[in-house]
Structure formats: structure tokens, C-alpha cells
Amino acid sequence: MVAVHLLNWLLNGWLFSFGIVPRHLESLPGVYAAPFLHGDTAHLLNNLVGFVIFSSLLFIHSLRRYLWSSFFIITVTGLLVWLFARSALHIGASGWIFGLWSLLIATAWFERRLLNILLAILVAFFYGGMLYGVLPTDPRISFESHLFGAFAGVLCAYAQTKFTPGLTKYRR
């Protein structure tokens, strides 16, 4: 993200053309590019904090699971933003971050293992206020990315539990 931000700065913002503009076919590749683009340094730094914290907590499970979860969350979030968000340029890693956040919490519900429950309590206690980020408060912020990212994280937790044998302690 930092390297892409520096490159975009050197290119006078040219990389912003790879963000997501909903329902525009030419911006469909933005589903995978947008999480690495940030409007300014403050935007990048704000996203890096949550990204590093939630990514680190997910590494507890495994690198493979983290990478699969990230790909899933980025794909689902980006496609939902492309399909349903308001017509604007959507950039930034916040959808991914909200997805990692909700994945950490939802995994406790679906897997019901002590480690996941402890992680969920920790995340909910220190970052429960992120829930307000899914509400439309500032027209310059893509609350749609936040909302769809949170949804994608829950969906990812469900999919991992449902389709990966041996992950749940209690099968329904």
C-alpha cells in the first residue's frame, strides 16, 4: 500500500483511474486495485493501523487462511461496491479492514473455539466502535465499502466453517 501510494504520488494521481466506479465496466479491475489506493497520506496511515492489527490477529490461524480470507473479502466487497454503491470513485483498504474485523468476530460464532472467542472479545472491546463506520456520515467516505466489507467478513467466516472440514468444534 505504501509503495502504491508513493508511486501514485509520483504519477500525480494517475493510479486513481484504477479505483472502483460503480457499474462502469472499465472500472471492474478496480475491485482488486482499489484497496491499495489511498486519497492522501492521512487516509493511508488510518487504514494501515487497522490493517496491521487485524492482519496480525488473523496470522494466528495461518498465512494460508489469511491470504484466502483476504482474497475472498476483497473480491466480495469490491463486487458489491461495484454493483450497489453510489456513483463515485471508491478507493482505500477500509472495506478489506472492515472485512478482517468482522471475520475475527464472526469466526468465534461459527467455530466456537476458545482462541477465536478470546480474539472476538478483544476485537469487540477495543474496536467495537467501528460498527458506526457502516453508517453514511461523510459523503467523502465510502460507507458502502465499510458495510459490504463487514458483510464479506461474516460471509467468509461462514464459508470457512461450512466448507473446510475440521474447523468447527460444534457442527450444526
* CA atoms lying within 13 Å on the CB side of residue 34: 30
C-alpha angle 5/29/57, rounded to 5°? 60
Q: Name residue, grid cell 471475520.
A: 103
Predicted pLDDT of residue 170: 47
154: CB partners within 8 A, 6+ apart: 102, 103, 106
Q: DSSP class of residue 138?
A: -
Burial label, 39 (beta-carbon count in 10 A; 0-12, 13-18, 19+): middle
Class of domain 2-163: mainly alpha
**For residue 166, what is its C-alpha cell?**
475440521
**Segments of the chain with pLDDT less than 70:** 165-172
Separation of alpha carbons 37 and 152, rounded Å? 20
Predicted pLDDT of residue 171: 45
Predicted pLDDT of residue 137: 86
Is the whole-model pTM more than 0.75?
yes
Q: Where are the domains of the chain?
A: 2-163
Amino acid 55 reads S
